[in-house]
Amino acid sequence: MASIKGKTIWITGASSGIGRSLAIELSKWPCNLILSSRKKIELESVKEVCGGSGNISILPLDLKDHDQMTRITEKATSFYGKVDILVNNAGISQRSLIKDTDMSVYKQLIDVDYLGTVALSKAILPHFLGQKSGHYVTVTSLMGKFGSPYRSGYCGAKHALHGFFDVMRMEHEKDGVKVTLVCPGFVRTNVAKNALTADGTPQKMDDTATQNGISPELAAQKIIRSVENESFEVNIGGKEISGAYLKRFFPKLLHKVVLKSQVR
């Protein structure tokens, strides 16, 4: 089992939800934290909740700025001289039917959830290769393993992340680079409220399944455990986790179950 003690951990999407809870939980450990999101004020607030110590740095980041990732990565590595773990947590969700969804919404989902994550991960790869160690912890979703109505673009982007990082692990295991794919189900965050609708505007409302999901604090604890275990992949959530296994062994049954229990 690997230890995160003394590690430098960079978390994207750290201003709210799972990222925020992960930052708070990790602040209890003797490690350095770099907190990123588009919202600098919220990041400063998270830092204060974490104790405002000198081993927590703020680095604003917009995943849509693909061309800026090399510069941002250089800034990240300058804080503590290295980055040991990159937690790719930032992203947006979707709630709209395929027939109603504008192509611009699909483009935004791919630009942020997939290409933004890929661009950042590629930018830090030379650093990981240079120090002969590094760990990508990429928060995808159970929707990266099976689909659900109203989430076509989100599912597509998350499925793509699984393909990319499975290959990242295969190509660079020999170089000391590790990959953990984290697949949350329903977690009590603002993911549904912030989800894009058919025209690209936020949904601004929660759903029952999200409200009844596990706490982000519990999700954060499970993520830390998976990092220490150097897990290839981990599913986090409640009974919805069973969908990942139904998809593999009983896909027609999963189809019926999802349609019967679908939520927006």
Residues recognised as catalytic: 154
Going from the C-alpha of 160 to that of each of 119, 131, 166, 208, 247, the distances in angstroms are 13, 27, 10, 27, 17
DSSP at 238: S
What is the Cα–Cα distance from 36 to 45, expressed in whole angstroms?
A: 12
The DSSP H or E segment spanning 165 is helix 152-172
What is the Cα–Cα distance from 227 to 152, expressed in whole angstroms?
A: 29
What contacts 242, CB < 8 A, 6 or more positions away? none
What contacts 124, CB < 8 A, 6 or more positions away? 10, 73, 76, 77, 83, 86, 134
